[in-house]
């Protein structure tokens, strides 16, 4: 049951994140690529009189909820309310939102009492959009402007899963891709990288890794931070044949090139 009286507290910080805890919505457009996660932290007390909660939960709709880590020391709150026993009221959470469907949602943060009754702290609407929106507004670059090289393809479970053409994996494996890319027109490293399943599911990768060898090979020393890695989870995919590509963003961020990495054969 939700109590009409709100909780005491505050959501001090929150953001939608990728798998590396990077902010995927720095402009607060509240349109979040599918597969993102949520980070939040704050403090909460039950009201009348102020007292520590039994816990703090986050719910999204009627079918999805998760607990935060509650009980972190907040001596500033104890000082404000004049009760030393009120210090253990901080909370935080990092939660994947991959199970949420594309469309409008709202997360609600609430404190719980010993009976499981809820005292709402805050709520925030947002929208899940297709992961392809990570490339929204960017045009496809011509093949001659970006040089892409793939150094390694594997799964985290099996380093020998790739035979040079086909990657064989089980559902739940994480596909790992390592390589480098240089924007030859700008003589600079890439502006971003994404892994792509079946031209439909996009996963943010890590770019800007130093690769002096690659920069030297093309005689472009300013492009040394051209390395990238990708970790692409498969747990939500179906058995069968798939494709694995990388989408490499040009140095100025306005265009991208898609490069085929491997065919993927998934078994259950």
- Among residues 113, 129, 145, the one where a domain terminates is 129
Residues 202 and 250 in one domain: yes
- 119 φ, ψ to 5°? -120, 105
Per-residue pLDDT averaged across 145-172, rounded?
Answer: 95
pLDDT 10s digits, 5-45: 999 999 999 999 986 678 888 889 999 988 889 999 999 99
Residues 86 and 13 in one domain: yes
- Among residues 87, 103, 129, the one where a domain terminates is 129
Tell which residue, 160, 143, 164, 168, has the closest CA to residue 258: 143
pLDDT of residue 73: 96
Residues 146 and 255 in one domain: yes
Contact partners, residue 153, CB within 8 Å, separation at least 6: 162, 167, 175, 176, 177, 178, 244, 261, 262
Q: Distance from first CA to last CA of the chain, Å, rounded?
A: 40
Residues 102 and 65 in one domain: yes
pLDDT of residue 125: 97
pLDDT of residue 141: 80
Residues 122 and 80 in one domain: yes
In whole angstroms, give the CA distance from residue 266 to residue 268: 7
Residues 199 and 260 in one domain: yes
Tell which residue, 121, 123, 125, has the closest CA to residue 42: 121
Residues 110 and 151 in one domain: no
CATH number of the domain within which 17 lies: 2.60.40.10
pLDDT at 101 over 70: yes
Residues 144 and 37 in one domain: no
Residues 180 and 101 in one domain: no
pLDDT 10s digits, 153-164: 999 999 999 999
DSSP state of 238: P
Strands 2-3 and 118-129 come out as parallel
Write out the residue range of the structural domain in which residue 253 sits.
137-267
33 exposed, middle or buried (CB, 10 Å; 0-12, 13-18, 19+)? buried
Contact call for residues 257 and 233 (beta carbons, < 8 A): no
- Provide the whole-model pTM: 0.70
Residues 61 and 86 in one domain: yes
- Among residues 67, 99, 129, the one where a domain terminates is 129
Lowest mean pLDDT among 138-152, 186-200, 211-225: 138-152
SS3 state of residue 101:
coil
Instruction: Count the neighbouring beta carbons within 10 Å of the beta carbon of residue 113.
Output: 16
Tell which residue, 150, 146, 144, 145, has the closest CA to residue 230: 150
Residues 123 and 35 in one domain: yes
Structure tokens at 23: 């902010």
Residues 174 and 124 in one domain: no
Structure tokens at 147: 């040089």
CATH number of the domain within which 211 lies: 2.60.40.650
pLDDT at 71 over 70: yes
Tally of domains within the chain: 2
- 76 φ, ψ to 5°? -65, -35
SS3 state of residue 47:
coil
Contact partners, residue 80, CB within 8 Å, separation at least 6: none
């Amino acid at each position: 049951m939700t109590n009409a009286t709100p909780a005491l507290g505050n959501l001090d910080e929150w953001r939608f994140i990728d798998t590396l805890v990077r902010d995927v919505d720095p402009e607060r457009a509240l349109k979040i690529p599918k597969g993102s996660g949520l980070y939040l932290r704050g403090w909460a007390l039950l009201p009348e009189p102020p007292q520590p909660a039994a816990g703090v939960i986050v719910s999204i709709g009627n079918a999805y909820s998760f607990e935060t880590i509650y009980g972190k020391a907040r001596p500033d709150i104890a000082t404000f309310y004049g009760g030393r026993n009120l210090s253990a009221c901080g909370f935080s959470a990092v939660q994947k939102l991959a199970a949420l469907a594309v469309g409008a949602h709202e997360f609600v943060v609430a404190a719980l009492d010993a009976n499981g009754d809820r005292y709402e702290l805050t709520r925030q609407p947002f929208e899940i959009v297709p992961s392809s929106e990570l490339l929204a507004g960017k045009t496809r670059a011509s093949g001659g402007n970006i040089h892409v090289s793939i150094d390694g393809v594997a799964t985290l479970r099996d380093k020998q899963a790739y035979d040079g053409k086909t990657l064989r994996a089980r559902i739940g494996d994480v596909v790992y891709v390592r390589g480098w890319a240089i924007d030859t027109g700008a003589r600079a490293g890439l502006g971003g990288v994404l892994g792509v399943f079946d031209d439909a599911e996009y996963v943010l990768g890590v770019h800007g890794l130093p690769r002096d060898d690659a920069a030297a090979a093309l005689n472009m020393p300013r492009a040394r931070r051209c390395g990238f890695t990708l970790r692409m989870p498969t747990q939500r995919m179906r058995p069968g044949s798939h494709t694995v590509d990388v989408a490499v963003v040009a140095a100025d961020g306005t265009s991208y090139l898609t490069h085929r990495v491997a065919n993927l054969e998934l078994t259950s």
